Amino acid sequence: MAPEKMQAGHVEESFLNKASPFILLLALFGIPAAAAVALVELLQIPRLIDGCANPLFALAEIGSLATVVVLLFLLRSCLKLPSAPRGFYRNVLDFLAMARWHPAVTVALVVLLVLPTAWFLHTDRRLVFMLRLMGWRALRLGDVQDALDGLAVFWQLALTGGVPLLFALHMLSRWKPQWRILPWLLVPLVFVGAFIASVIIVAGNMH
């Protein structure tokens, strides 16, 4: 390796070591906050396609997503350092960084996103029909936009109810790593809990 690259790498690692405590603290609060804004404003993404998005809310959506990506990258870099924290704090940061997850947690997250999508497409087949008939031009139709809004709401509900349960599953897998089968056995409870939470959220918003 060239001396210049070695020196640049040393400088970068030295900077991360010094800034790591601040970056970790920023990620601890910043990632959940930015992700919450992105989730709340999720409807702006389909509305950007036909130009019906609220400019302020759309900017908040794009900015929050960009913030999550930047903080995620910085957090992962800091967690690779020898000075990275250990114990409970590290487990929480690993969840936010989506790093060293138990496979059951990863599978639960994927299914948590796929199941609402599959159910929505099964119950509202006009979206699939219009996409097959018109291609990407169908995205500008009002009915298709309404369908995309509905899909975004499905994801909002699934993630709002499911992410806390994913966190609990992640922490359990770290607390008792020798119980390798238990996280897999609890995966169905994540889906049931997310469904119940979604029903409660919808019922609460109707009053």
What's the total number of domains in the chain? 2
Among residues 100, 124, 142, the one where a domain terminates is 100
Last residue of a domain, one of 66, 100, 134: 100
Residues 130, 52 share a domain: no
| Whole-prediction pTM | 0.82
5 and 72, same domain (yes or no): yes
For tokens 């800034």, the residue is: 19
Kindly state whether residues 80 and 122 are assigned to the same domain.
no
Q: Which of 69, 100, 131 is the last residue of a domain?
A: 100
pLDDT digits (tens, 9 = 90+) for 141-171: 666 676 777 778 888 888 999 999 999 999 9
Q: Do 40 and 65 belong together in one domain?
A: yes
The C-alpha atoms of residue 6 and residue 113 are separated, in whole angstroms, by 42
Across the range 190-200, mean pLDDT stands at 88
Helices vs. strands in the chain: H and E counts, helices first: 8, 0
Question: Is 14 in the same domain as 106?
Answer: no
Q: Are residues 73 and 39 in the same domain?
A: yes
Per the structure, the complete domain to which residue 27 belongs is given by: 1-100
pLDDT tens digits, residue range 23-51? 999 999 999 999 999 888 877 776 676 66
